[in-house]
Amino acid sequence: PEIGFFTVESRKKETFFGNLTEEQINFVKDPKDVVILKGIVGSGKTTSLAYKVAYEIKVKHEDPQHFLFLTFTGKAVNLFRATLEKLLEEENVKDITACTFHQFGQMVLRYGIERLGFSEDFRVITDKEAEDILKAFISLSPQAKTVLREIKLAKANLITPEQLEAMAESEWTREVAYFYKRYQEELRRSNSLDYEDLILYAVELLKKHPDIRKDVQERFKFIVIDEFQDVNKALFDLILLLKGPNNKLWVAGDEDQSIYGFRGASPVYLRNLEIKFPEASKHFLSVNFRTARKIVEAGLNLLSHSRVNSTMRTLNTLVQEEGNVSISYFENEVKEAQFVAEKINELKEEGIDYTEIAVIYRTNEYSRSIEDALKKYEIPYTILEGESFYDLPEIKVALGFFNHYLGNYSGQNIEFLLKHFLKFPSDLVTKVIKKYEKSGRVDVSTERGEFSVKLKALNIFLSRLKREANGEELPSKEPQEILEDIIDFGQTQGWFSTKSMETLQEFLISLQDMELKDVRDVFNYVSLMREVGVSATRHYGVLLLTAHKAKGLEFNTVFITGLVEGFFPLGKKTLKREHLEEERRLLYVALTRAQKNLFLTYPLYYKNEKKEPSRFILELVKRR
């Protein structure tokens, strides 16, 4: 059954997208040193930041090299750059430093990490490598992931192993502190840093060494921060260290979209910034550009129940359509999933493409019945599980060649190429790798002629890379030039499909943008990008994803499933008020991914266990 939803009466206003509102223009022209921009979802905060940067360069004639834009994901950086490219000359855009916080942390550390006891050729490890380090001295290996999560949270709050041990009130925290200390010792021994260290040590370097801090402040006179609501203690301190007496600081954020508490993020830092700079100028964007009215109203209703002061009081949207919001309940999760599949087919017949539809749930556990239903109705779908672009097979092959160039003859360098692209049988792969690991060459003495030809070609290329690395062929090449050789040779040999070539070309563009000079830097760059969540672009059909993964995405139609107590909000998130507040904000983020249609569903029974409707359902339909 479908529950009747409210109707919103509103005054129609002509929709426009290419022009700034008066609120945005006031922000762009504000001359204050510290300017704080808040705004509702879809109000153009990032666009406003880009216009403000362009205004200073184009109208005030400021040097583009003095601007630093920081945010959390590569996608957000690209969106910011794309807006700037419409407003400024290409050379001006290239002169602006726009990157993620962690890329910037790496940049700072390159400037003087030797002062902290590391050498400048430090390596950034992945989460998988971090877990493996912990597993080496944790007897219960499943605990490694949990301990790593605690270590990450400690680093996000700038807490050292010694401080964690001193403040420990339980045996568990003391154990974590012990493993944290051993983990840091191992990282230092191997001259390695993890993702969180890039901020932790950047803060330490800038705090302890005024000369480096002064150099950075003079280099970047304009500090521009997006998504400030996702800042944690470490990032907050980093930003304050960048803001010298002569620097301007412009930030944008929305407390109602703060959903990363498990990473140490909190909306409190946006409020702390106002306290730190009482003279700061404050702006608020109240107009939504992308979302239908009923969905906007549902979001306003939900947030009105927050016990924390919300920035959102009245909302306005320039989208003329009313949109559709419905809440439906079903006997169980199977019937719920069947409804989702049938409704998707109806929408497809109405002309909405599968790729414009998303099914969102709180945890991955809830996707099982939805997958079964979509398969039954032959609806194509993709599950967004966080696969990184940099984990795609083509990227692994390229990294294997880069590793070979550095003289590391690990069998993994060529294993993926042989198995995935050249389709070698397992027994032959084992034989080829055995010789490769000894000499850096592959064994071509096989009776199977078609494989022998491929191995001879591979040997030619491996030898060429080896000569270049040893300086036998001049001039020496930069990483992007080596990748071009990999692409050209692979294309000549027919190793890669058209789609694979596109992936490698995309990788090449990213290396060219970063202007990396050393092959070793490629591995640090890839480790970093894996962590900041650059998703693989291979998405077809309906997208299935968790609410956290949905942040930053938009769809014509969204289904939010499993709206029952224990799932949304999660049971463990209902004990503390701040956790429950974050669960409410998370639902707000999820529902505002929808532009036109929003379907909210829940089962009366899940796995034969009776469930209570989520407390948020009533909040969605009734203003507090």
Is 419 assigned to a binding site? Answer: no
The answer to whether 134 and 183 are in contact (CB under 8 A) is yes
Q: Which residue, among 291, 348, 341, 352, has the nearest Cα to 316 in the 3D structure?
A: 291
Q: What is the largest CA-CA distance in the chain?
A: 79
Judge whether 295 and 592 are in contact, CB under 8 Å: yes
Alpha-carbon distance of 593 to 600, in angstroms, equals: 13
Coil vs helix vs strand at 464? helix
Known binding residue 41? Answer is yes
User: Measured in Å, how far apart are the chain's first and last C-alpha atoms?
Assistant: 26
Length of the chain: 624
> Cβ atoms within 10 A of the Cβ of 513, count?
14
Cα 453 to Cα 460: distance, rounded to the nearest angstrom: 11
Alpha helices in 136-287 (DSSP H): 142-156, 161-167, 171-189, 197-208, 210-219, 233-242, 268-276
Q: Is the Cα dihedral 139, 144, 147, 151 positive or negative?
A: positive
Using the Cα atoms of residue 22, residue 27, residue 28 and residue 29 in order, give the sign of their dihedral.
positive
With tokens 């990213």, the residue in question is: 510
Q: How far apart (Å, rounded) are the C-alpha atoms in residues 173 and 167?
A: 9
CA distance 181 to 195: 17
Owner of token pair 């568990």: 172
Please choose, from the candidates 526, 279, 274, the residue with its C-alpha nearest in 3D space to the C-alpha of residue 391.
526
How many Cβ atoms from other residues are within 10 Å of residue 238's Cβ?
Answer: 23
Q: Where is 550: in which H helix or E strand?
A: none
Q: Give which of 13, 10, 79, 23 is closest to 46, Cα–Cα.
A: 79
On whether the CB atoms of residues 88 and 58 are closer than 8 A, the answer is yes
Q: Is the peptide bond before 210 cis (omega within 30 degrees of 0)?
A: no
Q: 74: which residues sit within 8 A by CB, 6+ positions away?
A: 100, 529, 532, 533, 534
Instruction: Give the integer Cα–Cα distance in Å for 539 and 118.
Output: 40
- According to the annotation, is 3 in a ligand binding site? no
Q: Flag whether 45 is marked binding.
A: yes
Q: b vs e for 170-197, b when ≥16 Cβ sit within 10 Å of the residue's Cβ? A: eeebebbbbbbbebbeebeeeebbbbbb
Kindly report the number of other CB atoms within 10 A of residue 608's CB atom: 6
Q: Are strands 192-193 and 123-124 parallel, antiparallel or unpaired?
A: parallel
314 is known to lie in a ligand binding site: no
Quote the Cα angle for 538-541-545, to 5°: 80
Closest CA to 527 of 222, 239, 132, 103: 103
- Sign of the Cα torsion 122, 126, 127, 129 reads negative
Binding residues for ATP: 39-46
Residue numbers belonging to the annotated binding site: 39-46
